[in-house]
Amino acid sequence: MRVLIIGSLGGELGKAAQIAAARGAQLDQADDVVAGLARLRRDARFKLVLCELGLPIADLVQGLIRERISVPVIACGAEDDPDAAVRAVRDGAQDFLPLPPDPELIAAMLEAASGESHVLIARDPVMLATVRAAEQVARSDASVLITGESGTGKEIVARHIHRRSRRAEGPFIALNCAAIPEHLLESELFGHEKGAFSGAIARRIGRFESAEGGTLLLDEISEMDIRLQAKLLRAIQEREIDRLGGQTPVRVNVRILATSNRQLAAEAAAGRFREDLYFRLNVVGIEIPPLRARPGDIAVLAAHYARHYAQANGIEPPLLSEASLHCLVAYSWRGNVRELENIMHRAILLAQGPIIEPADLGLPALPGQPKAAALPNQAETLDASRGISGLVGRRMDDVEQALILETLYSTAGNRTHAATILGISIRALRNKLRDYADHGVPVPRPLAGLGAPVNTGVAA
């Protein structure tokens, strides 16, 4: 991933930059906020900005907002100045990196910002067949529509296709259509010219141009506003784009991959997605099977995540007991690989010894097994053994609150993953959690601070 460092590299910030580079980040540097904004306009591939605390972070954040550039900003400064850190976050920084830098904290920030894993793990015959299909179409330039439930690893398969394609040496640019506000998405995709809107003080290169010669992934394409879909269709058909405020089309050489957790054919039939765009994207369709349909992947994925999070937390990787493996295979995995990742992350943190037992997983008990003990301070949960009758007599708001908090505990406090499992938007979830906190209800924080589980889900 590409990281922009704004500030001097002569001191502790320079050491943080070296650590980030050692962790695989591609770095660029600007001396001040003005130069930093200029770099961000020219290149849409930056995933993270690390900004020195002494610089005007509020000006940087406001500049990003004015120019419709969507990239998180992390303030970096001495850990003995907590007031400055609070001011930086109040000014719009997403978080604070204390200096001298901690390598593991930097790694967690990089992974959280990238939201990606480059690992493709497949052992089950069902998933192996899907991977073979992806590899078969990888060498072509055809558009590919990758569908499947949330958390199955659609982006991982997209990256695998890119790595096996003739464009592997070119850039891979991913744009999450669901994560970027509607009014920013068009500028993110196509870029803009100076004066295109209030705050556009210079030309900005968008994701299409940044992916020149490579692959552009449109993640969760079904969330794109239907009005913007028309402009996207033209870009794909004509192989040229129009920057916002531009007078001359710009030729682009980009392969398009798209993902969706919805059936786009049904969305098109219902008038929520352009049918012509659907056909243009779905030259080749690949559907990722849910985790429950590929049980042969569960054990190897669980072991992978156990090693990953043990290493991240500086502990020896514990082994899964036979009973724990039985629980994992028998579980329904509504949240798919992403939910398995969260479960293993939590189990690594809660395991009492070198073996992960069923109680450490926090899964519902199987018939004939005792129910695992609740987590400390865990909110009251729904008693699954009583079925629907256990809900009778309770207010709907109380049932909803219990379900939301229980799901949040199951995801180790990760808001994005909990929202996916619940089937609601991250904004709706945050509003509800804010309301709970205002009424004195304990709301779990991510167990790893920034380190809410960071991989988007190995496409197992």
Question: pLDDT for 377-399, tens place per residue?
Answer: 333 334 433 445 455 666 777 77
- pTM score of the predicted model: 0.66
In this predicted structure, what is the pLDDT of residue 386? Answer: 40
Handedness of CA 126, 129, 134, 135 (dihedral sign): positive
In this predicted structure, what is the pLDDT of residue 396? Answer: 78
DSSP 377-411: TPPP---GGGGGGGGTTS-HHHHHHHHHHHHHHHT
CB-based contact 109:74 (threshold 8 Å):
yes
In this predicted structure, what is the pLDDT of residue 371? Answer: 43
Q: In CATH, what number does 294-438 get? A: 1.10.8.60
Q: Where are the beta strands (DSSP E) in 45-178?
A: 46-52, 73-78, 95-99, 144-147, 172-176
In this predicted structure, what is the pLDDT of residue 381? Answer: 39
Q: Do domains 2-114 and 125-289 have the same CATH topology?
A: yes
In whole angstroms, give the CA distance from residue 63 to residue 61.
5
In this predicted structure, what is the pLDDT of residue 445? Answer: 67
Read off the tokens for 182. 């509607």
DSSP 90-102: HTT-SEEEEESPP
User: If we measure between CA atoms, which residue out of 35, 215, 229, 203 comes closest to residue 137?
Assistant: 215
In this predicted structure, what is the pLDDT of residue 457? Answer: 38
Helix (H, G, I), strand (E, B) or coil at 442: coil
Spans of the chain below 50 pLDDT: 366-387, 389, 447-460
In this predicted structure, what is the pLDDT of residue 49? Answer: 93
In this predicted structure, what is the pLDDT of residue 365? Answer: 55
For residue 216, what are the β-bridge partners?
173, 256
Pick the CATH number of 125-289 from 3.40.50.970, 3.40.50.740, 3.40.50.300, 3.40.50.150: 3.40.50.300
The domain segmentation of the chain, as residue ranges, is 2-114, 125-289, 294-438
Q: What is the pLDDT of residues 221-278, one digit of tens each?
A: 999 999 999 999 999 999 999 999 998 999 999 999 999 999 999 999 999 999 999 9
Pick the CATH number of 2-114 from 3.40.50.2300, 3.20.190.10, 3.40.50.11540, 3.40.50.2000: 3.40.50.2300
